[in-house]
Amino acid sequence: MADDLKKGLEGVLVAESGLSSIDGDEGRLIYRGYPIEDLARGASYEEVVYLLWHGDLPTADELEEFTAALEEERAVSEDVLAMMERLAAADEQPMAALRTAVSMFSATEPEDDAEPADLEATLRKGRRITAKIPTALAAFERYRLGEEPVDPHPDLGLAANFLYMLTGEEPSDIHAETFDQALILHADHGLNASTFTSMVIGSTMADIYSAVTGGVSALSGPLHGGANQDVMEVLFEIDESDLDHREWVEQANEEGRRIPGFGHRVYNVKDPRAKILQERSKELAENGEDKWYNYTTTIEQYLSEDQGLAEKGIAPNVDFYSGSVYYQLGIPIDMYTPIFAMSRAGGWVGHVLEYQEDNRLIRPLSRYTGPEDQEFVPLEDR
């Protein structure tokens, strides 16, 4: 078995988890046994994070206590704010700024002397990270705009509060509900690259700040996060074109261009998260501008049905609709992947905690392909 090379660990079973499960053939995603559709339409992001971390949906009292604990941890230090201002002035990429912020959070950790095996302390640290990420991200964006950060709103949930800190105005109900739903859809998704990265780091019993920083770093790569930004850039191109959007996608297809947001490493059918965000995109279109929804539905119909991509197992993934949804919410496109990280932090923390309950250092094998029996030559003779 050790001689079988599996590039990218594809098909290799490396861990067991009770957090989430994906059926790529049926287009089914569950968190702790609950269908994603039920959670997205009936729960809040806070309820879902509680579910991922504790194994059960909270009661009303448990949710109130959990939400209050998150609210208490939202503020970030002046040092973090100063760093966000410096990075914004230096035109740093948002994901790099977030990576720096998460790493800096540990400087004010009140339980920095907790033992690595103290999982209750790790859970509390994870809660602090999850609560602070929206504040740091919103501050970075405000500084980029030449404006001062907006303090967290004590009466708003995590999703609505982020939109508030981003703009200084309380979001409408539909905007808050849509963004909350988007965070739920991105909270966890099996053993993807960033989650596995966090678990590898956690398996060394490094602190949770290191594990989440590693998750952010892995998510910043173009093969993992960022496709929703690519989708939005395509939609901008369509909008600026002289062609009708149907004509544009036909021409792009004839030129052999690949449209981002189609296909997934796991799903062979339409991503269930894409279906939910398509509904939200339609609702946003009915209450505002409809062209972005029209563009995406036209592209999907043409590629999936007319060109037969659906029959080939290539269908829209979550990024195909999240890009236009975020844009309709007024979120800058280079903040899309950091928002992904803001949501996925809940999953990263959950997986690290779960793995550390029965921890074993992750240490796979590699096959040596270098030379053998090299004769060493002293420096003076080389």
The DSSP-derived string for 264-322 is -SS-SS--HHHHHHHHHHHHHHHTS--HHHHHHHHHHIIIIIIS-TGGGT--B-HHHHH
Nearest to 180 by CA among 202, 151, 159: 159
Q: Is the pLDDT of residue 122 over 90?
A: yes
CATH number of 227-329: 1.10.230.10
Tell me whether residue 155 is one of the annotated catalytic residues: no
Q: Record the tokens describing residue 366, joined without a space.
A: 């590699």
Please give the angle made by the CA atoms of 322, 323 and 328, to the nearest 5 degrees: 95
pLDDT band at 237 (very low <50, low <70, confident <90, very high): very high
Q: Which letter, b or e, does each residue of 98-120 get, where b requires 16 or more Cβ atoms within 10 Å of its Cβ? A: bbbbbbbbbeebeeeebeeeebe
Q: pLDDT tens digit string along 251-260?
A: 988 898 888 8
User: Alpha carbon of 309 to those of 181, 289, 298, 302, 306: distances in Å?
Assistant: 28, 28, 14, 9, 8
For the chain, percent of residues with pLDDT exceeding 70:
99
Convert the pLDDT of each residue in 320-371 to its tens digit. 999 999 999 999 999 999 999 999 999 999 999 999 999 999 999 999 999 9
- CA 49, 51, 57, 61: dihedral to nearest 10 degrees? -50
The residue extents of the domains of the chain are 20-223+334-357, 227-329
- Cβ–Cβ contacts within 10 Å for residue 150, how many? 17
Q: What is the mean pLDDT of residues 179-190?
A: 97
Between CA 205 and CA 144 the distance in angstroms is: 36
From residue 54, give the alpha-carbon distance in Å to each of 18, 66, 306.
11, 11, 45
Q: What is the mean pLDDT of the chain?
A: 94
In angstroms, the CA 349 to CA 177 distance is 24
Q: Note the pLDDT of residue 146.
A: 97
Written as six digits, the tokens of 82 are 């100063």
DSSP label at residue 262:
B
199-215 pLDDT per residue, tens = 999 999 999 999 999 99
Q: Is 153 a catalytic residue?
A: no
Work out the percent of the chain whose per-residue pLDDT is above 90: 81
Q: Which of 175, 245, 264, 351 is catalytic?
A: 264
pLDDT at 79 over 90: yes
Alpha carbon of residue 371 to chain centroid: 41
Is residue 191 within 8 Å of 15, Cβ to Cβ?
Answer: yes
Q: Distance (Å, rounded) from C-alpha 161 to C-alpha 152? A: 6
- Give the strands of the sheet with 34-35, arranged side by side: 20-23, 28-31, 34-35
Q: What is the CATH number of domain 20-223+334-357?
A: 1.10.580.10
- The residue with tokens 């907790």 is 114
Q: What is the mean pLDDT of residues 261-287?
A: 91
The confidence score (pLDDT) of residue 222 equals: 84
Please compute Rg for the chain using Cα positions. 22
Can you read off the two tokens belonging to residue 279? 């509904």
pLDDT tens figures, 18-50: 999 999 999 999 999 999 999 999 999 999 999
pLDDT recorded at residue 313: 87
Helices (H) and strands (E) in the chain, counts: 16, 3
Distance CA 142, CA 164 (A): 11
**pLDDT at 2 exceeding the cut of 70:** no
Tell me the C-alpha distance between 348 and 126, whole Å: 9
Q: CA nearest 140: which of 179, 180, 83, 212?
A: 83
pLDDT tens digit string along 337-350?
999 999 999 999 99
What is the pTM assigned to this prediction? 0.94
User: Please, what's the largest Cα pairwise distance for the chain?
Assistant: 77
User: Is the pLDDT confidence value at 1 over 60?
Assistant: no
Q: Which of 319, 334, 358, 381 is catalytic?
A: 319
